[in-house]
């Protein structure tokens, strides 16, 4: 199949009209629709449902919340601590949570995707890394060909940690960079030299990591097109296998650490869009391919291959080709997608510990997916991942006819057809190059919750 189109011209008028708050759709229904009284028993029932499919693989995520200091831009659930032993206690509780889930899953233990996120997973010492991996391996069976990945911080990660991770079988790393410009780093309270980034990348290559991802963010305070262009050229020279270039989500009412950001220095509108447009142009010229709404990969990477074949998938860990639709997650704030539910853990350490001490799963919120939710979640995921909706496949999976089930949505999509965002192709829905820029806007049309409520949620802007 042909790859998604790439040539696109975005006018100021389009940005003014469509650059508005919208969900990123890591899940559907989105988190604001989840119930805060979702119980331990409801999650146990979901795990029991999953146990009835013992031969299907799982994805497994572990949240390591600790950081030595908090960056001003950060939107993650983190615990700032330099106390010795704080991670040891946490790892003990994660082991207990793993054991509880393994028992509830009654033998369903095959893991095809393993990811550690944070916080900073390399906050852990080599011994603690071995301890955590040992906990996973004791309760679950990690496939020899599994995608095993984690996030690393170039400022704190040592050569010994890299060697330990590779020895344990980790094959992918994602390193946070955000921007290499020192002035931008000062604005976001994250001082990370180019030398530190290059050194960690070299270590990862030397020990055999083949899947190395670099995270960047556009829309940060103080970013200018000239210095951002220099950052992109340097990243191309480093030559990671993948890049994620996220739009900065400035949500100070929700994320108090972001109140340190000087709002007057944030690029917005056309100025902000020029940053991602320039990055896209330079990366495509350097041989990368655009993946989904904010990722890039070398042409031989499995994500690029999957994109061409329209079988790209996305879960809470990001874009993937792993055929493990259900995910169990552990640690504070971790989100599971299993047995027809989303379930998120407590975010505070004290409440997380208390729940496990009481023999309960530390569930804080969640939701059951209705039949309609499952249809819409699949449609939104297809559009966000593959920029294509196969209406015949929709009918086979869910027994619904697109033209009748989504008649009102088709009416609402009319303006997007007229704007050149979308086209129909043999009865299917294809997102064109311009629509890929505004894919979050397109996805909102299929969001039944957004269409039914006037309640405003704090979503980041769509571009």
- Rounded average pLDDT over 214-236: 97
Distance, CA of 181 to chain centre: 24
What local confidence, expressed as pLDDT, does residue 73 receive? 81
Per-residue pLDDT band for 1 (boundaries 50, 70, 90) equals very low
Q: Do domains 1-25+371-455 and 26-328 have the same CATH topology?
A: no
What local confidence, expressed as pLDDT, does residue 400 receive? 97
Per-residue pLDDT band for 237 (boundaries 50, 70, 90) equals very high
Residue 2 has pLDDT above 60, yes or no: no
pLDDT in tens, 276-305: 999 999 999 999 999 888 899 999 999 999
What homologous superfamily is domain 26-328 in, according to CATH?
Answer: tm_1862 like domain (3.80.30.20)
Residue 5 has pLDDT above 70, yes or no: no
- Rounded average pLDDT over 344-354: 97
Three-state secondary structure along the chain?
CCCCCCCCCCCHHHHHHHCCECCCCCCCCCHHHCECCCCHHHHHHHHHHHHCCCCCCEEEEEEECEECCCCCCCCCCCEECCCCCHHHHHHHHHHHHHHHHHHHCCCCCEEEEEEEEECCHHHCCHHHHHHHHHHHHHHCEEEEEEEEEEEECCCCCCHHHHHHHHHHCCCEEEEEEECCCHHHHHHCCCCCCHHHHHHHHHHHHHHCCCEEEEEEEECCCCCCHHHHHHHHHHHHHHCCCEEEEEECCCCCCCCHHHHHCCHHHCCCHHHHHHHHHHHHHHHHHCCEEEECCCEEEECCCHHHHHHHCCCCEEECCEEECCCCCEEEEECCCCEEEECCEEEEECCCHHHHHHHHHCCCCCEEEEEECCHHHHHHHHHHHHHHHHCEECHHHHHHHHCCCHHHHCHHHHHHCHHHHHHCCEEEECCEEEECHHHHHCHHHHHHCCCHHHHHCCCCCCCCECC
Per-residue pLDDT band for 4 (boundaries 50, 70, 90) equals very low
Residue 98 vs residue 75, higher pLDDT: 98
- Rounded average pLDDT over 385-389: 94
Question: How many CB atoms sit inside 10 A of residue 51's CB?
Answer: 16
Per-residue pLDDT band for 457 (boundaries 50, 70, 90) equals low
Per-domain boundaries in the chain: 1-25+371-455, 26-328
Residue 106 has pLDDT above 90, yes or no: yes
Q: How far is CA 207 from CA 160, 184, 204, 381, in A?
A: 11, 31, 6, 35
Q: At what angle do helices 86-104 and 40-51 cross, to 10 degrees?
A: 60
- Rounded average pLDDT over 117-126: 94
Q: What is the pTM of this model?
A: 0.92
For 369, list phi and psi in degrees, rounded to 5: -85, 125
Q: 1-25+371-455, what's its fold?
A: Arc Repressor Mutant, subunit A (1.10.10)
What local confidence, expressed as pLDDT, does residue 454 receive? 55
Residue 6 has pLDDT above 90, yes or no: no
What local confidence, expressed as pLDDT, does residue 7 receive? 54
Per-residue pLDDT band for 3 (boundaries 50, 70, 90) equals very low
Mean pLDDT for all residues in the chain:
92
Give the β-pairing of 110-118 and 58-64: parallel
Which residues pair with residue 247 across a beta bridge? 218
């Amino acid at each position: 199949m042909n790859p998604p189109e790439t040539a696109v011209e975005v006018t100021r008028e389009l940005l003014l009209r469509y650059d508005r708050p919208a969900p990123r759709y890591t899940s559907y229904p989105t988190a604001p629709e989840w119930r805060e009284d979702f119980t331990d028993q409801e999650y146990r029932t979901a795990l029991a449902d999953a146990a009835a499919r013992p031969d299907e693989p799982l994805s497994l995520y572990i949240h390591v919340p600790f950081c030595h200091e908090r960056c001003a831009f950060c939107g993650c659930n983190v615990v700032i601590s330099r106390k010795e032993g704080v991670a040891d206690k946490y790892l003990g509780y994660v082991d207990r949570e793993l054991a509880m889930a393994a028992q509830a899953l009654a033998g369903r233990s095959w893991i095809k995707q393993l990811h550690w996120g944070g916080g900073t997973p390399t906050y852990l010492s080599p011994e603690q890394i071995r301890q955590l991996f040992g906990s996973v391996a004791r309760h679950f069976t990690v496939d020899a060909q599994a995608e095993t990945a984690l996030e690393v911080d170039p400022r704190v990660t040592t050569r010994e940690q890299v060697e330990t991770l590779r020895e344990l079988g980790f094959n992918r790393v994602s390193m946070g960079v955000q921007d290499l410009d020192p002035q931008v780093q000062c604005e976001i309270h994250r001082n990370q030299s180019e030398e530190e980034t290059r050194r960690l990348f070299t270590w990862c290559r030397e020990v055999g990591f083949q899947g190395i991802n670099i995270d960047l963010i556009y829309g940060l305070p103080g970013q200018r097109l000239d210095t951002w262009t220099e950052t992109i050229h340097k990243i191309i020279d480093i030559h990671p296998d993948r890049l994620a270039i996220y739009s900065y989500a400035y949500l100070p009412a929700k994320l108090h650490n972001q109140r340190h950001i000087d709002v007057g220095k944030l690029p917005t509108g056309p100025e902000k869009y020029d940053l991602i447009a320039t990055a896209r142009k330079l990366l495509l010229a350097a041989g990368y391919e655009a993946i989904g709404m904010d990722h890039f990969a070398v042409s031989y990477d499995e994500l690029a291959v999957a994109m061409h074949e329209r079988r790209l998938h996305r879960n809470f860990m990001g874009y993937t080709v792993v055929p493990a639709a259900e995910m169990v997650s552990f640690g504070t704030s971790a989100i599971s997608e299993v047995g027809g539910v989303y379930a998120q853990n407590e975010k505070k350490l004290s409440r997380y510990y208390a729940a496990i001490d009481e023999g309960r799963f530390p569930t804080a919120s969640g939701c059951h997916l209705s039949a309609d939710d499952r249809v819409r979640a699949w449609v939104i995921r297809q559009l966000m991942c593959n920029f294509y909706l196969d209406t015949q496949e929709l009918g086979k999976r869910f027994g619904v006819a697109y033209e009748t089930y989504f008649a009102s949505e088709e009416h609402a999509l009319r303006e997007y057809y007229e704007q050149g965002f979308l086209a129909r192709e043999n009865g299917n829905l294809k997102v064109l190059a311009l629509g890929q820029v505004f894919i979050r806007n397109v996805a909102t049309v299929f969001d039944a919750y957004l269409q039914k409520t006037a309640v405003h949620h704090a979503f980041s802007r769509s571009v």
